[in-house]
Amino acid sequence: MKRRRFIRNVAGLGIASALLPSFQSNQTKSASANPVVKTLPKALLKGDIIGITGPAGAIYESETIERITSRLTELGFKFKLGKTLYERFGYLAGTDEVRANELMEFYKDHSVKAILTMRGGWGCARILDLLDYEVIAQHPKILMGFSDITSLVNAVYLKTGIITYHGPCGYSTWTDFSTVYVTKAVVLGAPFTMQNPDDYKTDLLTLAPGKAEGELLGGNITVLVSMIGTPYEPDWTNKILFLEETMEEPYRIDRMFWQMKQAGIFGKVKGVVFGSFNKCFPEEPEKSFTLHEVLEQHFRGLSIPVYMGATFGHMSPKFTLPIGVLAEIDADNHTIRTLERSVMA
């Protein structure tokens, strides 16, 4: 599709979302053993303001700010830039208090309809104790990001029941494919199917066949493992777990799988899907298992459906996965299909 035509069509989706049937209630029961009350943020409409903040790592490339604001403008949205985009405190985008306070300000700002995190890196875990989850619950709005943002989007869902979104950051390359899935998740919101583009299908592999339903949960494996045993550890029960990683050697990923296995996580989830494991190569291949061999050892023939090679994580293009939304994994056909709305029309 030509760029100009694509932009015109996507920008118009904000208007299209307003025409969709109203959601009967923005609260539904979770499928987990310990149900939470789920809340859908309102769908983004053309002309809405998106707050852009840096809750984690410092923003070193100022041109990325111009790139994402230009992209959002092309798509018909306005934006509000946080001061964290220009702050540096070591490797962080400002002190913990500055980053937490800005996030809370965006939640309380009625003009801001969605919050886009600028980048991951490290830092979100440092602010989880500083957030006021009661206030966040009173102001449900779209929160999106990935990588280190994994801890933030999962903590907000756990503590408030608000659906959050594992999708592109401001730093990301917003390809047409990625933008279409952002639009499906936070503008249209109707159930949709996540299927790799044709040129990625050769990388897909079924490790354990079958279909399963459960609420979507996941993100970066290193970050998720770091949350085990904390007050922000996700409720894994009856979930479809999605995992991604970047620049970790196979033995480290093996170690994380063992921790998750011994914590009983793989006995609780309904299915597992692996996205990009970018640059996860052994430094000394002759002395190491490959990543594929590690995955085979842990998941081949598991009693729940498992497949690898989905397009999300540290890669482009990428899906946007709504955390907390009921979905179906089909490990044989390599698809993830949401079964309920991901935003309130």
pLDDT in tens, the chain (345 residues): 433 443 444 444 443 433 333 333 333 333 344 457 899 999 999 999 999 999 999 999 999 999 999 999 999 999 999 999 999 999 999 999 999 999 999 999 999 999 999 999 999 999 999 999 999 999 999 999 999 999 999 999 999 999 999 999 999 999 999 999 999 999 999 999 999 998 876 689 999 999 999 999 999 999 999 999 999 999 999 999 999 999 999 999 999 999 999 999 999 999 999 999 999 999 999 999 999 999 999 999 899 999 999 999 999 999 999 999 999 999 999 999 999 999 999
CA distance 164 to 215: 12
Sheet holding 271-278, edge to edge: 193-195, 335-338, 326-330, 211-220, 239-246, 271-278, 306-308, 205-208
Say if residues 50 and 72 touch (Cβ distance below 8 Å).
yes
The per-residue pLDDT for 201 is: 66
Catalytic residue among 102, 244, 245, 248: 244
Query: Which domains does the chain carry?
Result: 3-188 (3.40.50.10740), 193-338 (3.50.30.60)
Q: How many CA atoms lie within 13 A of 267 on its CB side?
A: 6
Cα 169 from Cα 3, distance rounded (Å): 21
DSSP state of 343: S
Task: Find the distance separating the first CA and the last CA of the chain, reported in whole Å.
Answer: 27
Rounded to 10 deg, the angle between the 3-11 and 176-183 helix axes is 10
Task: Spell out the alpha helix ranges (H) of 51-148.
Answer: 63-74, 96-108, 133-138
Instruction: Give the torsion through C-alpha atoms of 225, 228, 231, 233, to 10 deg.
Output: 70
Check 166, 298, 314, 334 and give the catalytic one: 314
110 part of the active site: no
What is the predicted pLDDT for the residue at 36? 74
DSSP lists the bridge partners of residue 329 as 212, 336
Both structure tokens of 69: 């604001």
- Sign of the torsion angle spanned by Cα atoms 96, 101, 107, 113: negative
pLDDT at res. 200? 76
Could you give the 3-state DSSP secondary structure of residue 135? Answer: helix
Distances, alpha carbon 116 to alpha carbons 169, 177, 304, in Å: 6, 18, 33
Residues 306 and 275: beta-carbon distance below 8 Å: no
CB 248 within 8 A of CB 283: no
Structure tokens at 72: 């959002």
Taking the C-alpha atoms of residue 223 and residue 151, their distance in angstroms, rounded to an integer, is 6
| Residue linked to tokens 């994380």 | 256
Whether residue 34 contacts residue 235, with contact meaning beta carbons closer than 8 Å, is answered with yes
| Alpha-carbon dihedral 117, 118, 124, 127, rounded to 10 degrees | -70
Give the whole-angstrom CA distance, residue 5 versus residue 10.
9
Q: 205 CB contacts (<8 Å, ≥6 apart)?
A: 307, 308, 309
State the DSSP H helix or E strand holding residue 164, giving kind and residue range, or none if neither.
Answer: strand 164-166
Written in H, E and C, the secondary structure of 270-334 is: CEEEEEEEECCCCCCHHHCCCHHHHHHHHHCCCCCCEEECCCCCCCCCCCCEEECCEEEEECCCC
- Active-site annotation holds for 147: yes
In this structure, are residues 105 and 130 in contact, taking their beta carbons and an 8 Å threshold? Answer: no
- Residue-level pLDDT at 141: 98
When computed from its CA atoms, the radius of gyration of the chain, rounded to whole angstroms, is 19
| Distance separating alpha carbons of residues 16 and 9, to the nearest angstrom | 10
Active-site residue 30, yes or no?
Answer: no
The model's pTM? 0.90
Catalytic option among 30, 32, 147, 276: 147
